[in-house]
C-alpha cells in the first residue's frame, strides 16, 4: 500500500468518526424528553374546556415550561398555569401570558331537554327538519272480500314510505290482493282466481305517539286485474274475463321504528273497486260489474334509503 493511499484512508476514517460524534451530540436524550414533555403540556392545554380555544405557545427549558400567548382573563392565566404544572415532568411554570380585552364569545346554544313522553318519530319531525324520507320494502296482506262469492287469501305487496315526520305527507299504496270466485248456485265450485293489483296515491296525516307514527290516509288510483281459470273445463257461471278498474282506499297505518333505517308497518284499510267480469251464463257471455270491495290487513317492513 502506498503512502498516499494510507493518508486517504486515515482521512476518511477521521471524517466518519467526526460525523458520528456530531450525530450523537445532535440526538440529545434530554432534548427528546423536553420535546415530549412540551407535547404533553400542549395536549393538556388544548383539551381543557376553559382555555382549549386559546393560542398558547409552549417552550421548555429543562423541566421548566414557559407559556406565552393571549388569554382573556386572569382566571384563564391561572388555569393555564395550573394545567401545565399538573403535567408529569414539570418542576416550574413561567407565565408570559397576556390578557387582552375583546368581545365575549357567543354563548352555547340552548338545546331543550328531550321530552320523555315523545319518541324517536317526534324528535325527527321537530328537530330534524329535512327532505322527505324514502323507504322501500314489502309485506304480506290478508284480504277479506265482501260477498259470498269470494274467498279469503294472503298476498304479497310492495311497500313505499314517503316522509317520516308529523303532519301531511304524500302517500303511495298498493294493497294487492287475490280472491277465488265461486260459481252460484250451490254447490259452490271454484271457477277462477282473481288478482287485483291497485296502484294508488294520495295524502296522509301523521301523528306521533311515543315511538310510533299513526297515519290515516286516503288514496286512489287504478287497479290492474287478471283472471286465472281452473283446468277442469268450463262450467256454468264461470268467469272468463275481467277488466281493469278504478280503485280507492281509506286506511290507517302505524309506523314503528325497528332500527336506525328499518321501519315496521301495519296497515288496515278498505279497498273499493268494481271490475267488469265476463261470465258464461246459459251458454252465452254476459258482462256484469261486480263489487270487489275488500278489507286489507297488511304487515310489512321498509328500509330507509335516504
Q: Is residue 18 part of a domain?
A: no
Question: Is residue 177 located within the same domain as residue 241?
Answer: yes
* φ, ψ for residue 142, nearest 5 deg: -110, 125
In the sheet that 56-61 helps form, which strands lie side by side, from edge to edge?
Answer: 56-61, 64-71, 92-99
Q: Is residue 184 part of a domain?
A: yes
Q: Is residue 13 part of a domain?
A: no
Question: Is residue 136 located within the same domain as residue 239?
Answer: yes
pTM above 0.75, yes or no: no
Q: Annotate 211-268 with DSSP letters as a single string.
A: TEEEEEEEEEEEEEEEEE--SS---TT-EEEE--EEEEEEEEEEEEE-SSSEEEEEEE
What do you get for the CA distance between the two ends of the chain, in Å?
Answer: 83
Mind listing the pLDDT tens digit of every residue in the chain (306 residues)?
454 555 555 555 555 555 445 444 445 667 778 888 888 899 999 899 888 888 899 998 888 999 999 898 899 999 999 999 999 888 899 999 988 865 555 555 555 555 555 554 444 444 444 445 788 999 999 888 865 456 677 889 999 988 767 889 899 999 998 887 665 544 445 567 888 999 999 999 999 888 788 999 999 999 999 988 776 666 667 788 899 999 999 999 999 988 878 889 999 999 999 999 888 777 788 898 888 889 999 999 999 887
> What CATH number is given to the structural domain containing 44?
3.30.1340.30
Q: Reduce the DSSP state of residue 32 to 3 states and report it.
A: helix
Q: Is residue 5 part of a domain?
A: no
Q: Which of 256, 295, 291 is nearest to 155 (CA)?
A: 295
Q: Reduce the DSSP state of residue 157 to 3 states and report it.
A: strand
Question: Is residue 170 located within the same domain as residue 257?
Answer: yes
Q: Is residue 269 part of a domain?
A: yes
Task: Give the structural domain span for 160.
Answer: 120-304
Question: Is residue 241 located within the same domain as residue 286?
Answer: yes
Q: Is residue 104 part of a domain?
A: no
Amino acid at each position: 500500500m502506498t503512502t498516499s493511499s494510507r493518508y486517504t484512508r486515515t482521512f476518511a476514517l477521521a471524517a466518519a468518526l467526526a460525523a458520528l460524534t456530531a450525530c450523537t451530540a445532535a440526538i440529545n436524550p434530554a432534548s427528546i424528553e423536553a420535546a415530549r414533555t412540551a407535547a404533553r403540556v400542549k395536549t393538556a392545554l388544548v383539551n381543557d374546556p376553559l382555555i382549549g380555544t386559546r393560542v398558547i405557545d409552549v417552550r421548555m427549558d429543562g423541566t421548566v415550561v414557559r407559556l406565552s400567548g393571549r388569554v382573556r382573563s386572569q382566571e384563564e392565566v391561572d388555569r393555564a398555569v395550573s394545567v401545565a404544572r399538573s403535567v408529569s415532568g414539570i418542576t416550574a411554570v413561567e407565565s408570559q401570558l397576556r390578557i387582552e380585552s375583546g368581545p365575549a364569545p357567543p354563548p352555547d346554544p340552548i338545546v331543550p331537554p328531550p321530552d320523555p313522553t315523545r319518541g324517536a318519530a317526534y324528535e325527527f319531525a321537530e328537530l330534524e327538519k329535512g327532505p322527505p324520507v324514502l323507504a322501500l320494502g314489502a309485506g304480506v296482506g290478508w284480504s277479506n272480500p265482501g260477498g259470498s262469492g269470494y274467498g279469503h287469501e294472503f298476498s304479497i305487496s310492495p311497500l313505499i314510505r314517503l316522509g317520516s315526520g308529523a303532519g301531511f305527507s304524500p302517500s303511495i299504496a298498493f294493497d294487492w290482493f287475490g280472491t277465488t270466485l265461486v260459481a252460484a248456485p250451490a254447490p259452490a265450485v271454484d271457477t277462477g282466481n282473481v288478482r287485483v293489483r291497485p296502484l294508488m296515491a294520495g295524502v296522509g296525516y301523521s301523528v306521533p305517539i311515543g315511538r310510533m307514527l299513526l297515519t290515516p290516509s286516503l288514496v286512489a288510483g287504478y287497479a290492474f286485474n287478471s283472471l286465472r281459470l281452473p283446468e277442469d273445463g268450463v262450467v256454468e257461471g264461470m268467469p272468463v274475463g275481467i277488466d281493469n278498474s278504478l280503485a280507492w282506499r281509506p286506511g290507517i297505518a302505524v309506523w314503528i321504528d325497528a332500527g336506525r333505517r328499518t321501519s315496521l308497518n301495519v296497515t288496515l284499510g278498505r279497498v273499493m273497486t268494481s271490475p267488469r267480469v265476463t261470465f258464461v251464463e246459459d251458454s252465452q257471455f254476459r258482462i256484469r260489474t261486480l263489487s270487489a270491495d275488500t278489507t286489507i290487513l297488511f304487515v310489512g317492513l321498509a328500509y330507509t334509503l335516504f
